[in-house]
Amino acid sequence: MSHLSSPPKKLKGEHKGHGLPRGSERGSSSRDKDRSATVNSSVPMPAGGKGSRPSCPSATPQKAPNRLINEKSPYLLQHAYNPVDWYPWGQEAFDKARKENKPIFLSVGYSTCHWCHMMEEESFQNEEIGRLLSEDFVSVKVDREERPDVDKVFMTFVQATSSGGGWPMNVWLTPNLQPFVGGTYFPPEDGLTRVGFRTVLMRIRDQWKQNKNTLLENSQRVTTALLARSEISMGDRQLPPSAATMNSRCFQQLDEGYDEEYGGFAEAPKFPTPVILNFLFSYWLSHRLTQDGSRAQQMALHTLKMMANGGIRDHVGQGFHRYSTDRQWHVPHFEKMLYDQAQLAVAYSQAFQISGDEFYSEVAKGILQYVARSLNHRSGGFYSAEDADSPPERGMRPKEGAFYVWTVKEIQQLLPEPILGATEPLTSGQLLMKHYGLTEAGNISPSQDPNGELQGQNVLTVRYSLELTAARFGLDVEAVRTLLSTGLEKLFQARKHRPKPHLDSKMLAAWNGLMVSGFAVTGAVLGIDRLIGYATNCAKFLKRHMFDVASGRLKRTCYAGTGGTVEHSNPPCWGFLEDYTFVVRGLLDLYEASQESSWLEWALRLQDTQDRLFWDSRGGGYFCSEAELGSGLPLRLKDDQDGAEPSANSVSAHNLLRLHGFTGHKDWMDKCVCLLTAFSERMRRVPVALPEMVRALSAHQQTLKQIVICGDPQAKDTKALLQCVHSTYVPNKVLILADGDPSSFLSRQLPFLSTLRRLEDRATAYVCENQACSMPITEPCELRKLLHQ
Cβ atoms 12, 325 nearer than 8 A: yes
Would you state the pLDDT for residue 29? 30
Would you state the pLDDT for residue 741? 86
**Overall average pLDDT of the 415-422 stretch:** 96
Would you state the pLDDT for residue 743? 87
pLDDT in tens, 434-454: 999 999 999 999 988 887 889
Q: Is the pLDDT of residue 334 over 70?
A: yes
Would you state the pLDDT for residue 703? 85
Compute φ and ψ for 15, nearest 5 degrees.
-100, 165
pLDDT in tens, 32-74: 232 222 233 323 333 333 333 333 444 444 479 999 999 999 9
**Overall average pLDDT of the 670-691 stretch:** 96
**Overall average pLDDT of the 481-495 stretch:** 98
Would you state the pLDDT for residue 6? 35
pLDDT in tens, 514-541: 999 999 999 999 999 999 999 999 999 9
Alpha carbons within 13 A on the beta-carbon side of 282: 25
| Closest among 34, 17, 27 to 228, alpha carbons compared | 34
**Overall average pLDDT of the 307-329 stretch:** 97
Cβ-Cβ contacts under 8 Å for 529 (sequence gap 6 or more) = 523
Would you state the pLDDT for residue 5? 32
Q: What is the mean pLDDT of the chain?
A: 90
> Where are any strands of DSSP class E within 252-402?
323-324, 332-333, 336-337, 385-386, 389-390, 399-400
Would you state the pLDDT for residue 194? 82
Would you state the pLDDT for residue 36? 27
Q: 657: pLDDT confidence band, cut at 50, 70 and 90?
A: very high
Q: How far apart are CA 563 and CA 377, in angstroms?
A: 11
Q: In the 8-state DSSP scheme, what is residue 57?
A: P
How much of the chain, in percent, has pLDDT values that exceed 90? 82
Q: 621: pLDDT confidence band, cut at 50, 70 and 90?
A: very high
The one-letter code for the residue type at 397 is R
Q: Is the pLDDT of residue 26 over 60?
A: no
Q: 14: pLDDT confidence band, cut at 50, 70 and 90?
A: low
The pTM is what? 0.91
Q: Three-state secondary structure along 617-631?
A: CCCCCECCCCCCCCC
Would you state the pLDDT for residue 646? 97
Would you state the pLDDT for residue 317? 98
pLDDT in tens, 176-209: 999 999 999 999 999 888 889 999 999 999 999 9
pLDDT in tens, 242-268: 999 999 999 999 999 999 999 999 888
**Overall average pLDDT of the 282-293 stretch:** 96
Query: How many other CB atoms are found less than 10 A from the CB of residue 135?
Result: 10
DSSP states along 734-771: EEEEE-S-TTSHHHHH-GGGGG---BTTB-EEEEEETT
Q: 631: pLDDT confidence band, cut at 50, 70 and 90?
A: low
Q: Is the pLDDT of residue 119 over 50?
A: yes
Would you state the pLDDT for residue 578? 98
